[in-house]
Amino acid sequence: MSDIPEEVRRTVIRDIYLKADELGWDGLSPADRTTWYNRWVDDEMLGGVLTRYMPRERARMWIKDVPMKHYNRARSGIGPYADLVSTPLPSAYDIARIALGEDWTVLNGTLREKPNRCQVTDGHAQKLMIWGNPRNLKSLVWAGLNARVDGLPSPIVVISLLQGERLAESERRRHQKVCELAGLNVRVITTRATRTTSANRETPALRLPDG
């Protein structure tokens, strides 16, 4: 896999991310994703390029395990392919401002992933912010519990919904209860992905917290 020239590698990943954006990847079922992996391998501009450097089945595995494994982290501005996405999600700085207020910012060098988390401050207090979508609640709560055990700053769980997504009231109450039982504060926010252009590349995609 490392035999792919870097320029070719990054071009293919950028093209795959663009196609995933157009498909609304987060909303696809596992079966639909499998279908698209196969179609991408058959695509002359994607699989056709990759199969110059590896067998067809290995190309399919590469698409799944390299670009798409990093897709959501890249959209959050994290990892080696963050600059290749065309519709990035709000960054850690955006999430902190949406969930906690305009005075909050990220402390340099504290950003971690799996799940996304970082230390934030308003110049007085300090917190460990852990964020992700509702499907990742288990890993968010587990990270919060480990933060408490390790003596890190007070953890806060931020459940981030994309514009158009909604939590049923029963789900919202359940998430709240789970976090309360774990001794964790929780916020639910709504954000939107923003198409990247030269004009808005540095502009945060901010929305107000829900509730």
Per-residue model confidence as pLDDT tens digits over 42-91: 999 999 999 999 999 999 999 999 999 999 889 888 889 999 998 888 88
Q: How many CB atoms lie within 10 A of CB 80?
A: 12
Per-residue model confidence as pLDDT tens digits over 87-114: 888 889 999 999 999 999 999 999 998 8
Give the containing element (helix H, strand E) for 120.
strand 116-121
- How far is the C-alpha of 85 from the C-alpha of 25, rounded, in Å? 13
Per-residue model confidence as pLDDT tens digits over 165-175: 888 999 999 99
pLDDT value of residue 2:
52
Residue 22 CA, chain-centre distance (Å), reads 17
**pLDDT at 17 exceeding the cut of 80:** yes
Total-model pTM: 0.74
* For residues 25-29, average pLDDT: 85
Residue that the structure tokens 């990270």 belong to? 143
